[in-house]
C-alpha cells in the first residue's frame, strides 16, 4: 500500500489524468509498469479503475482494516483501490437513491472474478449488521463458491476462469443494508463438459467431487477418486493443479449449499447428476449387427447409469442408440450409427449439465429473493468472460468475443461518445477526441437478416443438407465484402496463406481472431433428441424432473438457436446496464504465463489499445468529472446557501448560479450548460460534498427539533382530546351511577316507610325489609353498647320482634363475661368463691347476718401473726396429735350454767375444733367432728353459735355456746372441713334455741330484735340475745349476695 505522497511520486502517479504526457501510450504503460513492480496494482483514470493482475497475494492489500480505512472516504483522498470504487458506488446509491452497476472487463486471466469477489466482500462489510441482513450477506457471499465450482474451469491462461457470464443485482433498502439479490447467467460453455483443450480441465465440480467426497458418497455414486479413469476429466492431461485444492473447495461448496438453504435431497440429487455425467462420458459404442446401427460396447454401464439417473435401464439404452422420427403423422424408431450415438451421448451430457446449471442459478435466486414491496436500490456486478484468442477458436469464442464487443460498445457509449455528445448538446466548449467506435463490428455480428448470427440461424433452419461448409459459403456471400470480415474465399493470395478453407477472420476491437467453422451449425442448433428428453423426464431425480419437463415434450415449437438466445440475453443486459449509473474496473493481464512480477509490454500495449484506455484518458483530461441536471444539483446542495434554502422561487438555472457564487466556484472550476451543471475537478466536488455532509448535521438537528415539537404537540393534542373524551364519558357514567343510586335510595326509603307503617304486623312482604333493618340496626347498636364487665347490668332495649333473641343474647353474653372472668381467677380465688357459694346455699334468705358477710372475703385466720405463731408452737409441743390448724378466730364462750362469758380462741383442725385460752393458748376443750351432731344459729344478725355435743358421756359438759364476730365464715370453715357435717347446720327462726347441759338438763337462748344490742342472762335463767335492725344496708348486701350466687352457679 502507498503510505505517502512522496513515495507515490517516485513510483508513478496514481491517476493517469495527472500524467504530463497524457497523449503518449509509452508514458501510460511506463507508469503502469512502475506501479506494478511496487505491488501497486490499482491506478485511476478519473473515476475508472485500472487493475493489473499480480498473480500473487499482496500482504495488507485487502482485509477488514483496509475496508475500514476506505469506508466513507471520498474517491481521491486515498490511493487507488477497488474498495474506493465500491465505496463510491455504494454511497452514491444510498445517498442519491441511484441504481448503480460496476462493469468489470478485461481478457481471460486478467482478474475479473477476483475483482468481483472483492467488491462483494466490501459491500457486505460496509452495510448494517442485523439478523436478516447478516443472513442475506452470508448467502450473497456463499453464492460465489457454488457458482465458481459449477461454472469455472482451468484454462491455459487462467486457473479459475469463468466459463459463463454472471450479472448479480444486489438489492439494498433505504438504510443501505442488503436485503436480497438476483443472478443472471449468460452462455455457459457447455462444450467443455465433453471436450477440453490440452492443458485445460473440465468444470471444477467434477474434480472437487472426486477429491472431497467421502468413501460412502463415492460408493453410492459408484465413483473412484481418480479422475484419470474418466474420459471427460482427463482430455487435457491436467487433472491436478498446484494452485487449486479440490478437497478443500468441495468442503466450501458443501458449506455454502447449507448456508444457502439447500436440502440434503437437493444436494444428493446434484451429486447424482454430476456423477451420471462422468459415467455417461465413459460409454463407448461399437457397430451393430446391421450396417448403420450401433450398440453400447459395455452393457454393464447402463444399469449403473440408470440407477444414478433414476430411470428405466431399457428406456435409457434405447434412447442412446435409437431415435424416433415423425413423418406424416407416423412415428418411426430408427437406429443411430456410431457417430450419431456418440453425438447423442455428448449432447445429453452437455444439455443435462447446462440445465442443471440453470436450475442451480434459479435455486440461488429463490434463496436470495426478497419479496418485500418496499422501494429498493440496486447495485449490479458484471463478471463476464473476457476477450479470448486461442489457437483454435470455435463457436464459444465467437459468442464470448461478441459479448465483449457489446460491452465495449456500452463503454464507448457511456464514457466517450455520450460524454462528448453531451458537451455539444449543453453548449460546453470542447476539443473532440478521436476514438474507434466498434458499432460496425457489433452490427456485422447481430444485424437483422444480414449479420453473422442471422445467416447462421437461416442456415440451421434451411431444409435440405446443412453443414458447416454450407454455412461458410453463405457467410461469404452475405458479409464477404465487409471491411472487418475475411475468409479463404474473399481474401487475397497473402491472406489465404493464413486462413484455412474452414476458417474466417473478424477484426475485433481487441484484435483479429480466426474462427474455425467446425461445429458452428451443431452448436447453434443445440439439438437433443426427443427420446433422450423423454428418458430424462421419466427420472425420479427431483432436479431432473424439473429441468426436463413434460410441457417441453408436448410443445411442437422449435426452440430458438443458441446464438439467438445469447443475442437476446445480451440485449437485455445492455438495457439493464444503460439504466444504471456505471462504475468501471478495467482488468489487465500482465503476461500469458501467469507469472508474478512479470509485465510484458507488448501484451500491455495491446490491452491498453483495445480497451480504449488512452481515449478514455484524453476525454477525462479534457472533460468534467461531474455533471448533474440543475434540479438534482440544486435539490442536493441548496441547503448550503441561505438564498436557495429552503425553497428557491426562481428558475433552476438562476438558482445554480446563486449557489455557485455563494460556494466560491471560479470560472475554470465549473460550467453551466443548458440543463446541467458541469464540475471539472474532483477536489471542487469533494469540498462541496464535505460542506454538505457538515450541513446535514445542522439540518438533522433542526429537523429533529421541529419533528420533536410536532410529535409532542401531536401527542399533547391527542392527550387533550383523550382527557376531554374520558371526562365527557366519565361525567355521563357518574350521572348514570348517581341516578341509579338515587332511584335505589328512593326505593329503599319507600320500602322503609311502608315497613314502618306495618312494623307491628307479623312478618310479611311489606315489612320484611324494615324488620330486617331493625334487626341489623339493633345488632349494630348492641355491638357498640355491650356490657364490659359482670357488674354492668345495662342492656339496650330491643324492639318487640327481637325480645326473645335479646334475652338469649344477654344470657349468652353474661355467660361469656363470666367465663372470661373465671378464666382469669387464681386457684385461691376459686376456692374463696367456692366457699362463698356454699355460704350462699346455706345462709341466703335464712340468716340476716349473711348479706353483710358477702362482701367480706373469707380468710385463713382472724388472729394476728404473733398470736398465730404462738398458738402453733403451743399446740405443736403440748398437743401434736391435734393436727394442723385450718382456721382460728377469737370468740366469746358462754358457760352452760349462768352464761358467764369468757374470752377464748377457737381453732379448727382437720380432726375437730379446739377451744384455747386467750394469751396462754391452753387447751380448754377439744371436740372431734364425729362428736358434733348439730350446729345451731339463729336467723338474726347475731353471732351466737350452739354446737351440739353428746350429753350421755359422764364427762360431757353439754353443748358449746360461743359468740363469733364472723359467724358465717366460722360456720362454713367448721362444716366444710368435714364434708359430712354440711347437713348438721340448723338455722332457727323461732327466736328460741334450746341447748343441752350436763345431767340431761337444758337451757334456753332467746333471740329478738331491739334498739340496743346486748347478750346477757335474764332473771329467769335464759340467755337473751338482742340485735339491731338496718333495712337499707340489708337491701344493698342482698343484691351483692344475688350476684355472687350467680357467679357461683356458673362456676359450678
Instruction: Select which of 162, 319, 351, 1041 is catalytic.
Output: 162
Residues 263 and 376: their CA atoms lie apart, in Å, by 29
User: Are 2 and 8 spatial neighbours (Cβ–Cβ below 8 Å)?
Assistant: yes
- Measured from the Cβ of residue 724, the count of other Cβ atoms closer than 10 Å reads 10
Reply yes or no on whether 138 is catalytic.
Answer: no
Is 261 a known active-site residue?
A: no
Kindly list the distances between the CA atom of residue 414 and the CA atoms of 226, 421, 620, 673, in Å, as whole numbers in the listed order. 50, 10, 12, 19
Q: List the catalytic residue out of 43, 47, 88, 108.
A: 108
Q: What is the C-alpha separation between 18 and 22, in angstroms, rounded?
A: 8
Q: What is the C-alpha separation between 963 and 159, in angstroms, rounded?
A: 148
Cα distance between residue 220 and residue 308, in whole Å: 9
User: What φ, ψ does residue 981 adopt, rounded to 5°?
Assistant: -95, 0
Strands (E), 635-730: 670-672, 676-679
Catalytic: 275? no
Question: Distance between terminal CA atoms of the chain?
Answer: 116
**Catalytic hit among 51, 113, 415, 951:** 113
Q: Does the annotation count 1020 as an active-site position?
A: no
Query: Is 294 a known active-site residue?
Result: no
Q: Tell me the sheet residues that pair with 1015.
A: 1025
User: Pick from 258, 249, 247, 259: which is nearest to 213 by CA?
Assistant: 247
- Of 116, 158, 272, 524, the active-site residue reads 158
CA neighbor of 45 nearest in space, from 13, 4, 78: 13
| HSE, side-chain direction, 13 A CA sphere, residue 389 | 16
Of 971, 1005, 1016, residue with least CA distance to 847: 971
Catalytic annotation, pick one of 151, 386, 612, 623: 386
Is 108 noted as a catalytic residue in this protein?
Answer: yes
Given 12, 106, 109, 958, the catalytic residue: 109
Q: What are the residues whose beta carbons fall under 8 Å from the beta carbon of 111, sequence distance 6 or more?
A: 51, 52, 53, 587, 589
Pairing of strands 322-327, 330-335: antiparallel
**Among 440, 412, 697, 389, which residue's Cα sits nearest to residue 578?**
412
Is 158 marked active-site? Answer: yes
Catalytic residue among 388, 405, 503, 848: 388
Strand partners, 324: 333
Report the distance separating Cα 1031 and Cα 210, nearest Å.
137
Q: Are 892 and 943 in contact (CB under 8 A)?
A: no
The Cα–Cα gap between 789 and 813 comes to 10
Grid cell 500491455 is found at 604
* Cell (9 digits) for 639: 441547503
Q: Which residues contact 303 (CB under 8 A, 6 or more apart)?
A: 313
CB-count exposure of residue 934 (10 Å: 0-12, 13-18, 19+) = middle
> Catalytic site residue 478?
no
In the set 161, 191, 541, 688, the catalytic residue is 161
Give, in order, the Cα–Cα distances in Å from 791 to each of 783, 794, 805, 816, 1048.
Answer: 18, 9, 22, 13, 14
Give the catalytic positions in this structure: 108-109, 113, 158, 161-162, 386, 388
Amino acid at each position: 500500500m502507498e503510505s505517502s505522497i512522496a513515495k507515490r511520486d517516485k513510483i508513478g502517479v496514481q491517476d493517469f489524468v495527472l500524467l504530463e504526457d497524457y497523449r503518449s501510450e509509452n508514458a501510460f504503460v511506463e507508469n503502469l509498469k512502475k506501479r506494478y513492480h511496487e505491488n501497486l496494482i490499482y491506478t485511476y483514470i478519473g473515476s475508472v479503475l485500472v487493475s493489473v493482475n499480480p498473480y500473487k497475494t499482496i500482504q495488507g492489500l485487502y482485509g477488514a482494516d483496509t475496508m475500514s480505512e476506505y469506508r466513507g472516504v471520498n474517491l481521491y483522498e486515498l490511493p487507488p483501490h477497488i474498495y474506493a470504487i465500491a465505496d463510491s458506488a455504494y454511497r452514491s446509491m444510498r445517498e442519491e437513491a441511484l441504481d448503480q452497476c460496476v462493469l468489470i472487463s478485461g481478457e481471460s486471466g486478467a482478474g475479473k472474478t477476483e475483482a468481483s469477489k472483492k467488491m462483494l466482500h466490501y459491500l457486505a462489510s460496509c452495510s448494517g449488521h442485523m439478523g436478516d441482513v447478516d443472513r442475506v450477506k452470508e448467502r450473497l457471499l456463499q453464492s460465489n463458491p457454488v457458482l465458481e465450482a459449477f461454472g469455472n474451469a482451468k484454462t491455459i491462461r487462467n486457473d479459475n476462469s469463468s466459463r459463463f457470464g454472471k450479472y448479480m443485482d444486489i438489492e439494498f433498502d433505504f438504510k443501505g443494508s442488503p436485503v436480497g439479490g438476483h443472478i443472471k447467467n449468460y452462455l455457459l460453455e457447455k462444450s467443455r463438459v465433453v471436450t477440453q483443450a490440452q492443458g485445460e480441465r473440465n468444470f471444477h465440480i467434477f474434480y472437487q467431487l472426486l477429491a472431497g467426497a467421502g468413501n460412502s458418497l463415492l460408493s453410492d455414486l459408484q465413483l473412484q477418486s481418480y479422475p484419470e479413469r474418466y474420459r471427460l476429466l482427463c482430455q487435457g492431461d491436467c487433472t491436478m493443479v498446484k494452485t487449486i485444492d479440490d478437497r478443500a473447495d468441495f468442503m466450501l461448496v458443501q458449506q455454502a449449499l447449507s448456508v444457502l438453504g439447500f436440502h440434503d435431497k437437493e444436494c444428493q440429487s446434484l451429486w447424482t447428476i454430476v456423477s451420471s455425467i462422468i459415467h455417461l462420458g465413459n460409454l463407448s459404442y461399437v457397430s451393430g449387427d446391421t450396417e448403420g446401427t450401433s450398440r453400447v460396447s459395455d452393457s454393464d454401464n447402463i444399469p449403473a447409469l440408470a440407477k444414478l439417473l433414476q430411470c428405466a435401464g431399457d428406456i435409457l439404452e434405447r434412447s442412446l442408440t435409437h431415435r424416433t422420427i415423425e413423418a406424416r403423422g407416423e412415428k418411426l424408431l430408427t437406429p443411430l450409427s456410431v457417430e450419431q450415438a456418440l453425438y447423442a451421448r455428448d449432447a445429453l451430457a452437455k444439455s443435462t449439465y447446462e440445465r442443471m446449471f440453470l436450475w442451480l442459478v434459479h435455486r440461488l435466486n429463490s434463496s436470495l429473493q426478497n419479496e418485500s414491496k418496499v422501494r429498493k436500490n440496486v447495485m449490479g456486478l458484471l463478471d463476464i468472460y473476457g476477450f479470448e484468442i486461442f489457437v483454435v477458436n470455435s463457436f464459444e469464442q465467437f459468442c464470448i468475443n461478441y459479448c465483449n464487443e457489446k460491452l465495449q460498445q456500452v463503454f464507448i457509449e457511456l464514457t466517450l461518445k455520450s460524454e462528448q455528445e453531451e458537451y455539444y448538446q449543453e453548449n460546453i466548449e470542447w476539443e473532440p477526441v478521436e476514438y474507434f467506435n466498434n458499432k460496425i463490428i457489433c452490427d456485422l455480428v447481430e444485424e437483422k437478416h444480414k449479420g453473422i448470427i442471422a445467416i447462421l440461424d437461416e442456415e440451421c433452419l434451411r431444409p435440405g443438407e446443412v453443414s458447416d461448409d454450407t454455412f461458410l459459403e453463405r457467410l461469404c456471400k452475405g458479409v464477404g465484402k465487409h471491411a472487418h470480415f475475411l475468409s479463404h474465399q474473399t481474401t487475397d493470395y497473402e491472406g489465404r496463406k493464413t486462413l484455412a478453407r474452414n476458417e474466417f477472420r473478424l477484426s475485433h476491437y481487441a484484435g483479429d481472431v480466426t474462427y474455425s467453422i467446425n461445429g458452428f451449425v451443431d452448436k447453434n442448433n443445440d439439438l437433443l433428441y426427443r427420446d433422450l428428453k423423454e428418458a430424462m423426464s421419466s427420472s425420479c431425480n427431483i432436479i431432473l424432473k424439473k429441468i426436463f419437463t413434460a410441457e417441453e415434450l408436448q410443445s411442437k415449437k422449435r426452440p430458438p438457436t443458441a446464438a439467438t438466445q445469447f443475442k437476446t440475453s445480451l440485449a437485455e443486459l445492455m438495457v439493464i446496464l444503460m439504466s444504471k449509473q456505471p462504475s468501471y474496473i478495467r482488468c489487465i493481464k500482465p503476461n500469458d504465463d501467469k507469472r508474478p512480477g512479470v509485465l510484458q509490454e507488448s501484451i500491455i500495449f495491446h490491452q491498453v489499445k483495445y480497451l480504449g484506455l488512452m481515449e478514455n484518458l484524453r476525454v477525462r483530461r479534457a472533460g468534467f468529472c461531474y455533471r448533474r441536471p440543475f434540479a438534482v444539483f440544486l435539490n442536493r446542495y441548496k441547503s448550503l446557501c441561505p438564498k436557495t434554502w429552503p425553497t428557491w422561487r426562481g428558475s433552476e438555472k438562476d438558482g445554480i448560479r446563486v449557489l455557485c457564487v455563494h460556494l466560491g466556484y471560479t470560472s475554470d472550476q465549473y460550467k453551466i450548460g443548458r440543463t446541467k451543471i458541469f464540475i471539472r475537478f474532483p477536489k471542487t466536488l469533494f469540498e462541496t460534498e464535505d460542506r454538505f455532509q457538515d450541513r446535514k448535521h445542522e439540518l438533522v438537528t433542526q429537523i429533529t427539533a421541529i419533528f420533536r415539537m410536532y410529535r409532542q404537540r401531536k401527542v399533547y393534542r391527542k392527550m387533550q382530546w383523550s382527557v376531554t373524551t374520558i371526562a365527557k364519558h366519565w361525567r355521563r357514567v357518574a350521572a348514570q351511577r348517581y341516578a341509579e343510586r338515587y332511584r335505589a335510595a328512593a326505593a329503599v326509603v319507600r320500602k322503609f316507610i311502608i315497613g314502618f307503617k306495618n312494623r307491628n304486623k307479623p312478618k310479611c312482604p311489606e315489612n320484611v325489609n324494615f324488620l330486617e333493618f331493625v334487626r341489623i340496626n339493633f345488632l349494630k347498636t348492641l355491638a357498640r353498647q355491650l356490657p364490659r364487665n359482670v357488674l354492668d347490668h345495662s342492656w339496650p332495649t330491643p324492639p318487640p320482634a327481637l325480645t326473645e333473641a335479646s334475652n338469649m343474647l344477654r344470657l349468652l353474653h353474661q355467660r361469656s363475661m363470666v367465663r372470661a372472668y373465671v378464666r382469669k381467677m387464681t386457684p385461691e380465688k376459686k376456692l374463696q368463691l367456692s366457699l362463698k357459694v356454699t355460704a350462699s346455699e346455706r345462709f341466703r334468705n335464712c340468716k340476716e347476718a349473711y348479706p353483710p358477710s358477702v362482701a367480706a372475703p373469707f380468710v385463713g385466720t382472724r388472729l394476728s401473726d404473733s398470736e398465730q405463731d404462738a398458738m402453733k408452737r403451743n399446740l405443736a409441743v403440748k398437743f401434736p396429735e391435734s393436727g394442723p390448724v385450718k382456721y382460728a378466730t377469737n370468740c366469746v364462750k358462754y358457760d352452760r350454767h349462768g352464761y358467764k362469758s369468757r374470752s377464748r380462741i377457737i381453732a379448727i383442725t382437720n380432726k375437730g375444733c379446739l377451744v384455747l385460752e386467750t394469751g396462754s393458748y391452753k387447751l380448754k376443750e377439744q371436740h372431734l367432728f364425729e362428736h358434733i351432731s348439730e350446729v345451731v344459729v339463729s336467723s338474726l344478725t347475731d353471732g351466737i353459735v350452739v354446737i351440739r355435743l353428746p350429753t350421755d358421756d359422764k364427762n360431757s359438759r353439754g353443748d358449746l355456746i360461743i359468740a363469733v364476730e364472723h359467724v358465717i365464715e366460722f360456720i362454713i370453715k367448721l362444716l366444710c372441713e368435714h364434708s359430712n357435717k354440711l347437713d348438721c347446720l340448723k338455722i332457727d327462726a323461732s327466736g328460741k334455741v334450746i341447748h343441752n347441759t350436763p345431767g340431761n338438763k337444758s337451757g334456753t337462748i332467746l333471740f329478738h330484735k331491739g334498739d340496743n344490742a346486748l347478750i346477757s342472762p335474764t332473771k329467769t335463767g335464759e340467755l337473751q340475745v338482742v340485735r339491731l335492725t338496718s333495712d337499707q344496708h340489708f337491701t344493698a348486701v342482698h343484691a351483692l349476695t344475688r350476684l355472687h350466687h350467680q357467679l357461683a352457679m356458673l362456676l359450678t
